[in-house]
């Protein structure tokens, strides 16, 4: 039987690109990219689906004979702090609806995106190990820890094949992220290509783990394709790409745009960033399902700038 894929939150930074990758792998007729609204640029024929409505979700999964769910809908760390209880409701209830629907309708595989935000001040910063204590400081982080534990519960109790990654900040050119603490590392490239001065909301020496979108998507597909017996962690796997601070990414971009300028105006996101790990230890993912990142800061910067030049109309496509 062919795989039939449901993506929730498909308009988001990860969903936009993951939908392309899944369509390429499984065919457009087998991939259902959904969100709560149709975006201005409708890349994948988005269908409207509010995962908070469990009945609608069940009908959708049943009607379309869904076999795999990628549940990406969530409110991120910085935005979540504006409305903590609403964030908890959305992040948790949607996830419980996905788990329950998957159990009832025998969905074969479920993907849950977790985050470095599950860690707080009690975890080691460099490197942060797979089993480090999870004592998050944000409501987003609290919801992700709870979500990981629910994933493991559904796996142990019902045999549901739920797999999960703790993503670092994702760097992509296809869309702007929204509401995260790591967003500066995408916005800085936009400012450089547009010839603007960049005002950074983190201090210059705030090191955070990041990952280029191609690595993030490949990790997701490789995890989901791995034989079941390889998957030993049923909460969530630490994932690493590249770690840097604002001054390092600025210096890298300045090598390409010597006129580029940055100023620093840290806001409430500084505290969130300081509570997170600086470097992730992803040796368990490497050992269990052969994960290996490909992008370092240099390679990522070149690719980001080449793509953004084309997207922002600064250059004709050579890609
Ligand atoms: C955020 O900054 O909230 C996200 C994340 C690290 O999960 N990018």
How confident is the model over 55-102, as pLDDT tens digits? 999 999 999 999 999 999 999 999 999 999 999 999 999 999 999 999
What average pLDDT does range 48-60 have in this prediction?
A: 97
Q: Which fold has domain 5-170+212-238?
A: Rossmann fold (3.40.50)
Q: Which of 79, 119, 166, 167 to mutate to test the pocket of ligand 1 (most atoms within 8 A of CB)?
A: 167
Asked whether residue 319 carries a pLDDT value surpassing 60, the answer given is no
Cα separation of 304 and 168, whole Å? 17
Tell whether the model's pLDDT for residue 17 goes beyond 80: yes
Candidates 70, 140, 173, 189; catalytic one: 140
- The domain made up of 171-209+241-278+295-311 has a fold known as UDP-galactose 4-epimerase; domain 1 (3.90.25)
pLDDT at 318 > cutoff 70: no
When pLDDT is cut at 50, 70 and 90, the band that residue 266 belongs to is very high
- What is the predicted pLDDT for the residue at 27? 96
Give the tens place of pLDDT for each residue, 141-181: 999 999 999 999 999 999 999 999 999 999 999 998 889 99
**Residues lining ligand 1, judged by CB closer than 6 Å?**
76-77, 115-117, 140, 167, 169, 180-182
The CATH 3.40.50.720 portion of the chain extends over 5-170+212-238
At residue 316, the pLDDT reads: 63
Tens digit of each residue's pLDDT (9 = 90 or more) over 185-213: 999 999 999 999 999 999 999 999 999 99
305 band by pLDDT with thresholds 50, 70 and 90: very high
Question: Which residue's alpha carbon is nearest to atom 1 within ligand 1?
Answer: 180
Rounded to the nearest angstrom, the gap between the alpha carbon of residue 292 and the centroid of all alpha carbons in its chain is: 17
Rounded to the nearest angstrom, the distance between the alpha carbon of 87 and the centre of ligand 1 is 14
CA of 186 to the centre of ligand 1 (A): 12
At 317, the pLDDT band (50, 70, 90 cuts) reads low
Calculate mean pLDDT across residues 33-38: 92
DSSP state of 67: -
Q: Give residue 91 CA to ligand 1 midpoint distance, Å.
A: 14
- What mean pLDDT, rounded, does the chain reach? 96
Contact 194, 313 (CB under 8 A): no
> How confident is the model at residue 152, as a pLDDT?
98
**Segments in the chain forming alpha helices (H):** 13-26, 54-63, 77-80, 84-104, 139-158, 184-194, 213-225, 246-254, 269-275, 283-289, 297-311
Q: What was the pLDDT predicted at 237? A: 99
What are the Cα distances from residue 292, in Å, to 115, 209, 253, 279, 296?
A: 18, 15, 25, 15, 12
């Amino acid at each position: 039987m062919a795989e039939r894929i449901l993506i929730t939150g498909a308009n988001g930074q990860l969903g936009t690109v993951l939908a392309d990758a899944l369509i390429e792998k499984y065919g457009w007729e087998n991939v259902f990219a959904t969100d709560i609204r149709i975006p201005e640029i409708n890349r994948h024929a988005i269908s409207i689906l509010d995962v908070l409505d469990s009945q609608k979700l069940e009908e959708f999964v049943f009607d379309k004979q869904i076999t795999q769910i990628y549940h990406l809908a969530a409110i991120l760390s910085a935005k979540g702090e504006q409305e903590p209880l609403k964030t908890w409701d959305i992040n948790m209830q949607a996830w419980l609806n996905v788990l329950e629907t998957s159990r009832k309708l025998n969905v074969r595989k479920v993907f849950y995106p977790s985050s470095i935000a599950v860690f707080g001040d009690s975890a080691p910063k460099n490197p942060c190990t797979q089993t480090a204590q999870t004592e998050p400081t944000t409501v987003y982080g609290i919801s992700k820890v709870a979500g990981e534990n629910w994933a493991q519960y559904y796996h142990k109790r019902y045999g549901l094949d739920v797999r999960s990654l703790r993503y670092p900040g994702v760097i992509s050119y296809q869309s702007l992220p929204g509401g995260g603490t790591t967003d500066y590392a995408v916005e800085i490239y936009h400012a450089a290509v547009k010839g603007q001065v960049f005002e950074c909301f983190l201090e210059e020496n705030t090191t955070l783990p990041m990952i280029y979108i191609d690595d993030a998507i490949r990790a997701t597909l490789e995890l989901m394709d791995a034989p079941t017996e390889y998957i030993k962690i049923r909460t969530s796997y630490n994932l690493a790409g590249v770690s840097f601070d604002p001054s390092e990414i600025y210096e890298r971009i300045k090598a390409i745009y010597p006129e580029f300028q940055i100023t620093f105006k840290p806001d409430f996101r500084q505290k969130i960033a300081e509570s997170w790990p600086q470097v992730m230890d992803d040796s368990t993912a490497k050992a269990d399902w052969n994960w290996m990142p490909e992008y370092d800061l240099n390679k990522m910067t070149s690719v980001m700038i080449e793509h953004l030049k084309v997207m922002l109309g600064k250059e004709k496509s050579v890609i």
